[in-house]
Chains A and B, each alone.
Chain A
């Protein structure tokens, strides 16, 4: 099994280790908000569903847009490079939103998460997913690839969590 962990390179994120756990599946921790099957025809609909759930969970404005694009890029990867279908799951644990996208595709021999030059036509999806979230973890277990991203929800004041 191979696991790649990418943390934000820019100062915008928390950078405090969120999303670096190697137990790739945080599934089961926290509240499940969404669990849907990915197909090419559902990409837009799934993005809108993630917008609705992440907004309800408390993400707003640029933070919401960034997380949604990151998830969308992982979903798009499944359709284009990961065998065409898979699962997208979203859950919340306290003030952290995690989205895990998995497929049963052939897997990746190599994962490059670097910014493509402005003149290069492709290869920006994973870079965007990493830049726009608090962490990107990619796990390749031989039976497909799982990628997850996390975002922190900034709460003014609530009675729960801390």
Chain B
């Protein structure tokens, strides 16, 4: 039985950071893939930004994936942040306290040198 694909992603890599742009709904059927993707990005960049503007649904398994990725990022000294979360996604991140782990207190402008 083919599983319906409910979410999409795009990765933009630049010199100083990688941006993961998500769209759709992620639940337990996508949480493992999402975590794998995040871990891969964390292994290859100094900063990873997850843009959730077009993401309309996450559940507790996705929250778990985000927390696991956060620990991986901390261990590797990588800056992992979530931006543009809205509606249900934002509410769930806020009420569980996870947004605070990932809001990158001072995101800062693009680095220039």
A124 in the interface (beta carbon within 8 A) = yes
A: residues with CB less than 8 A from B are 40-41, 43-45, 47, 62, 65-66, 69, 72-73, 76, 79-80, 115-122, 124-125, 128, 131
What is the 8 Å Cβ interface bit string for chain B, positions 23-37, against chain A (1 contact, 0 not)? 001011100000000
Q: Give chain B interface residues in 19-64, CB to chain A under 8 Å.
A: 25, 27-29, 57, 59-61, 63-64
| B60 engages A122 (CB within 8 Å) | yes
* A79/B28 contact (C-beta < 8 A), A69-B88, A128-B92 known: yes
| A45 engages B59 (CB within 8 Å) | no
Contacts of B11 in A (CB 8 A): none
List the 9 closest pairs (A to B, CB-CB), nearest first: A118-B97, A124-B60, A65-B88, A125-B60, A121-B64, A122-B64, A121-B67, A121-B68, A76-B28
Interface size class of B (residues with CB under 8 A): 20 to 34
| B101 engages A73 (CB within 8 Å) | no
Contacts of B8 in A (CB 8 A): none
Contacts of B67 in A (CB 8 A): 118-121
Contacts of B101 in A (CB 8 A): 118-119
Chain B interface mostly helix, strand, loop or mixed? helix
A-B contact pairs, 11 of them (CB 8 A): A43-B28, A43-B29, A44-B25, A44-B29, A47-B27, A47-B57, A62-B91, A65-B87, A73-B59, A122-B64, A128-B92
* A44/B60 contact (C-beta < 8 A), A69-B88, A118-B101 known: no
Closest residue of chain A to B87 (Cβ to Cβ) is A65
Contacts of B57 in A (CB 8 A): 47, 69
A80 to B95, CA, bound (A): 23
| A44 engages B6 (CB within 8 Å) | yes
A13 to B29, CA, bound (A): 30
B106 in the interface (beta carbon within 8 A) = no
Contacts of A125 in B (CB 8 A): 59-60
A131 to B110, CA, bound (A): 38
A118 to B102, CA, bound (A): 10
| B96 engages A124 (CB within 8 Å) | yes
A117 to B63, CA, bound (A): 12
B4 in the interface (beta carbon within 8 A) = yes
Extra A-B contacts (11), CB below 8 Å, given A65-B88, A76-B27, A118-B97: A40-B29, A41-B1, A44-B6, A44-B27, A44-B29, A47-B27, A62-B88, A73-B59, A122-B64, A125-B59, A128-B92
Q: Give B67 Cβ to nearest chain A Cβ, in Å.
A: 5
